Structure 1
């Protein structure tokens, strides 16, 4: 999974696939049998920065960027068809000049003779210092290197790509990797039919030019260093070896689907489950015992008496359903948050049934975009019923804002980030045709569905409040400092964030570090824990607020529910300071732009959960008492 400007559509979702790395999946393509000597196509993808010790850039480059001077096929490279999600996540797949035939080993094959001017040599050297990697695709499998997990001892295929060069041999003097040892793992169905089940590429640097000879020497011992003072001439070469494998085609992705630090995932998940279980139990016991006593005491009072001594949360029964400030904005935010929640849930269901196959590139982003488009009706429905419940009557502007406000904000930020990508000549810049397709999905499908959902919500009308609103507002007494809006939101966001922060580290490494993330089962369970924690903590804080005779709970419940966004952004800043070393201004702008979008979507999602949970808890609470 790689992160580009339009991949922000998938932020809310870093969602969810099977729990184990070797779980069942539905293949994205049918298996292909190769005959001996049959050509195997090698496609090239974008060059992306690799997350080794620290990530140094967020800008990807086209493989055939003229500054790299890579070898091109005869007649020029041909672009391969890609899904919308694949394009959004930065894939730019093209043909290559590599000639690989099934079961035919080759050594020191000449690819081409390349000429690199001194100005472009500096560009290449800078990319080597930033740990850029190349990405090949063979029979749908990404190029990889075989590695051993130092913590588990498990051997796996790391599909992060392979290094453009080596900058560790001599400090400040990077060497270009111009020879590639390609190993194709195959599974034999019979003597004449073979299937590709693994692709390994090991690059190395070699100054293979021999004076007076047009043939390369791939076994020379000298490294290839590009001079930034003069023009450079050198060979690109490769070797191919076929390795038999007992792994059948249907299980070939198992070696790629490696979960790093599984004990940490399990520890984090179990720790979160224990915390949320204890939290829910304690909150339930406190609220049940306290509220039960309050309800019994209130209901025991004789309503025929002229004087009633109300106190606590019952004292504000005439104010609790009073119209909040800016009800239109609140309902729009609740509607968009419900839209995101539904999008996450449905994508999760698809992933759990194995429909998001890793062999179908971009399937996650594609499903997210489709769900975002189709579930505009949910956002319209939730916004309409919320607006009617809080007493709003200007339904026309509310309808328009529900359909366009936050999509406009998100598209504007993405468009601005896309301009930075275009200015940096990055391959992750979204093509105009893709932008047009997304806008058409928005205007022609999502917005009309939002309107339809809104009218359906208006048909159902407002939820019935169990108590009437007093004609004269009560005076609000001073309340504890920790119940003020900002302080309560920050405090309330600690527990939901704490339940997810370990998993968040792996998600950020995937989104920004071009590292595949396959622990979606852990992420699914973490998502459920976060939802339950958010709802529970928000209801608890709203109860404290009502006991303090503060009846303006609507915005506070939304802010408390979305309070984890503050900690998410703060964690993102820490991650940038500790794990990233972004040298260019463009990369820094991109990182914080993506982080802002991620936090905004998290705020809407958590806020809607907190508001809905609080409303129905309050509705149930005040329906349990007798009020004159």
Structure 2
């Protein structure tokens, strides 16, 4: 039977391994994204990614507005992760030739009707920004946040326009950036005789272009721009106003700058805009928390060692009966908890999430994931999630059998569908809101169906395989026997009740991650760069250790007061970090974001609920296993009759 049961596991494992290998070889050539060598005169493909706004959090397609269009709009091929993120790119009318400067290039002329003018005004009012890419590098707008001596910061994309006053006019008007100065930075390797793009920057301008004579499309000579004298603005009447009936001429310049930054380091300038000192502060703060809790645990371990030595050294039964505290409840401490099936499901799912996170961090640190493609990150996490379904089924079945369960198919079904069902339903509702708002990040119905197939067709069967193998194993042996009758639990102090304990248990673990959480929220909702897996890994390790230690400490206090209901308490205590995470996200929303639309508020709350639930399952599993190991160790060290 052992060989038969291992055959499907080996087959599925090998298949998924080849699937992962193919993914990385195809996307990254297994050694990172391959650089592209250009020669003078080669075509450079500037692509548009769409329009984003931190005020509405509702990205829209670039060509949904009255902008210049190429002869044929082509969508780039995308992987599943890019589709789920809405990270789509299309060709653009901006034409560039390698190392060939271009000045006063006319793209097109547009006369605004009432509908077009209203669309532009609305998007300018909501502070939408244009996103573009070139050679997988995002377009950035260099700005100085403080004084002119401060270092440059890179703003992802550029605002499509602004609202304000011009001259002495009393009424506010809307102005559009219709002239773009692109700066393409390149690195020339003399030894390899190769030229590679290492930077893509822009400076937007609003110019009311003028011309003499008839309009001759791109051959028109603008009186506000002279390519011969290399002057962009000569005699402009001011910025370009967005109004019905107004004529807008879109133009651009392209200049090249040689850079000393080599291709492998081209992202360093973008990612260096973050303050590394804050990350180190987060790590040091976490280490201090670990030291404090470790000191308390050292005292607890000493007391337990003394209690075990004294108890095992007792010579008479009379003296043994005088023992108090955690030793008295040895006959109830491993009694199955209420709703044990739900606990098994969440612990198994927590192991699945833990494996996915650790695998993603490891691949990112090894350089197999790149910040230039967030879609590949999501695709990798999805594949790892599917692969770790084996572990989820195995762990949940092992616990289920220890709790005297007999139907492994039931626990496998619950593990395969409980957590994913909640996530899929919430994600579908949020996607419906995006569809109603005609947002470009709406996930198409066929992609939702693909997710459903991956879930039901691959992930769920893997859970069943893992559960079958786990249930065939011998049940986890309990170090002590369980009494047939329940022991009465003494009345507990108010601070040992579930609510105070749960709230206390989440404070210290949350303090170790709130700095990284702040950076993550800023990157996600304010559209900024963030790629610090080198900091994520130690912070995650610190979080794991802190959750484990705080759970053991509170579990010991609970057992000393003869309360043996530690199963769920250990899970919820460390899982309460998610409560603080959600509360912090609400605080961040009120202080740092300017979202006013109800739809955007619902989207924010929905996504943060999903993240908080996943965090609860993850940290709860860590605390559960820490307490499970702790109780097994201490009760297996005592000689009970």
Common fold by TM > 0.5: yes
Which residue of the partner structure matches residue 9 of structure 1?
none
Deviation, 1:395, is: 2.6
Of structures 1 and 2, the larger Rg is shown by: 2
Partner of 2:57: 58
Q: Determine helix, strand or coil for the equivalent of 2:181.
A: strand
Query: Deviation of residue 29 (structure 1)?
Result: 3.5
- Does 1:397 pair with 2:398? no
Residue pair 1:28, 1:360 contacting (<8 A) in 2 also: no
What is the CA–CA distance in structure 2 between the aligned matches of 1:234 and 1:150, rounded to whole Å? 33
Corresponding residue SS for 1:449:
helix
Q: Is the 8 A contact 2:186 2:259 kept in 1?
A: yes
Deviation at 1:124, TM superposition (A): 2.0
Give the equivalent residue in structure 1 for 2:68. Answer: 71
**Per the alignment, do residues 481 and 375 of structure 1 end up closer, same or farther by CA in structure 2, a change over 3 Å counting?**
same
Q: 2:142 — aligned with what?
A: 146
Paired position in structure 2 for 1:558: 571
Structure 1, unaligned stretches of length 5 or more? 1-24, 50-54
Q: CA deviation at 1:47?
A: 1.0
2:482 maps to what in 1?
469
Q: In the alignment, what sits opposite 1:198?
A: 199
Structure 2 unmatched ranges of 5 or more: 1-28, 226-232
- The answer for the alignment partner of 1:532 in structure 2 is 545
Contact 2:130–2:158 (Cα < 8 Å) also in 1: yes
Post-superposition offset of 1:390: 2.5
3-state SS of paired residue (2:547): helix
Q: Does 1:417 align with 2:417?
A: no
Q: Distance in 1 between matches of 2:146 and 2:475?
A: 58
Q: Which residue of 2 aligns with 1:273?
A: 287
Q: Indicate the SS of the match to 2:120.
A: helix
Matches of residues 295-444 of structure 1 in structure 2 within 5 Å?
295-302=308-315, 304-305=317-318, 308-444=321-457
Instruction: Tell me, yes or no, if the aligned pair for 1:259 and 1:519 is still in contact at 8 Å.
Output: no
| 1:153-164 alignment runs, 5 A limit | 155=151, 158=154, 160-164=156-160
Partner deviation per Cα, 1:393-440 (whole Å, 9 max, x = no partner): 333221101011110110000000000000111111111222222222
Q: Which moved more, 1:115-124 or 1:309-318?
A: 115-124
1:42 maps to 46
Tell which deviates more after alignment, 362-371 or 399-408.
362-371
Give the deviation of 1:276 after TM superposition: 1.4
Offset at 1:278? 2.4
Quick one: distance in 1 between partners of 2:68 and 2:447? 28
For residue 30 of structure 1, report the CA deviation from its aligned partner: 2.4
The whole-number CA distance in structure 2 between the counterparts of 1:316 and 1:388 is 22
Residue 81 of structure 1: which of 68, 73, 77 is its match?
77
Aligned-partner Cα distance in 1 for 2:149–2:351: 43
1:92 aligns with 2:75: no
Q: Does 1:115 align with 2:116?
A: no
For residue 534 of structure 2, what is the aligned residue in structure 1? Answer: 521
1:126 corresponds in structure 2 to 122
Query: In the superposition, relative to structure 1, how do residues 622 and 111 fare at CA in structure 2: closer, same or farther (>3 Å)?
Result: same
Find the partner of 2:264 among 221, 236, 250: 250
**Does the 8 Å contact 1:28/1:358 carry over to 2?**
no
Query: Which residue of structure 2 aligns with residue 289 of structure 1?
Result: 302
CA–CA distance in structure 1, aligned partners of residues 174 and 453 of structure 2 = 46
Judge which range, 517-526 or 327-336, deviates more: 517-526
Q: What TM-score comes out, normalization by structure 1 length?
A: 0.90
Aligned residue in 2 for 1:496: 509
**Aligned pair partner of 1:260 in 266, 270, 274:** 274
Q: SS where residue 271 of structure 2 aligns?
A: coil
SS in 1 for 2:104: strand
What secondary structure is seen at the aligned counterpart in 1 of 2:38? coil
Deviations 1:225-251 (A, max 9, x none): 212xx3432111111111122222232
What residue number does 2:16 align with?
none
Alpha-carbon displacement from aligned partner over 1:56-108 (angstroms, at most 9, x marks no partner): 1211111111xx1111111x210111222222222111111111111221111
Question: Cα–Cα, structure 1 residues 554 and 169, in superposed 2: closer, same or farther, change >3 Å?
Answer: farther
Separation in 2, partners of 1:306, 1:537: 32
1:237 to 239, 251, 260: 251
What SS is found at the alignment partner of 1:77? coil
Q: What's the CA shift for 1:448?
A: 1.2
- Matched position secondary structure for 1:136: strand
Compared CA separation, residues 593 and 361, structure 1 to 2 (3 A): closer
**Rounded Cα–Cα distance in structure 2 between residues aligned with 1:149 and 1:315:** 64
- d(CA) in 1 for partners of 2:271 and 2:441? 24
Please name the residue that 1:187 is paired with.
187
For residues 273 and 632 of structure 2, the distance between their equivalents in structure 1, rounded to whole angstroms, comes to 44
Structure 1 CA distance for aligned equivalents of residues 32 and 50 of structure 2:
21
- Rounded to whole Å, the distance in 1 between the matches of 2:420 and 2:146 is 44
Matched, 1:460 2:473: yes
CA gap of 1:27–1:291, structure 2 versus 1, over 3 A, is same
Per the TM alignment, residue 529 of structure 1 is displaced from its structure 2 partner at its CA by: 0.7
Q: Which has the higher helix share?
A: 2
Answer yes or no: is the 8 Å Cα contact 1:86–1:363 preserved in 2. Answer: yes
**Cα deviation digits, residues 424-459 of structure 1 (max 9, x gap):** 111111112222222222122211111111111112
Alpha-carbon distance in 1 for matches of 2:552, 2:165:
58
Tell me if structure 1 keeps the 8 A contact 2:31–2:367.
no
The 2-side partners of 1:516 and 1:590 are apart by 21
In the alignment, is the contact (CA less than 8 A) between 2:519 and 2:530 conserved in 1? yes
- Structure 1 range deviating more: 594-603 or 259-268: 259-268
Give distance in 2, aligned partners of 1:307 and 1:533: 35
Give distance in 1, aligned partners of 2:492 and 2:277.
44
User: Counterpart in 1 of 2:209?
Assistant: 208
The offset of 1:183, in angstroms, is: 0.9
In terms of mean alpha carbon deviation, does 90-99 or 80-89 score higher?
80-89
Q: Name the counterpart of 1:225.
A: 241
- 8 Å contact from structure 1 (residues 29, 360) kept in 2: no
Normalising by structure 2, we get a TM-score of 0.88
Cα drift, residue 316 of structure 1:
0.8
User: Partner of 1:8 in structure 2?
Assistant: none
* 8 Å Cα contact 1:144/1:157 also seen in 2: no
SS at match of 2:105: strand
| Separation in 1, partners of 2:491, 2:118 | 65
Contact 1:259 1:518 in 2 (8 A): no
Q: With a CA cutoff of 8 Å and minimum separation of 6, indicate the structure with the bigger relative contact order.
A: 1
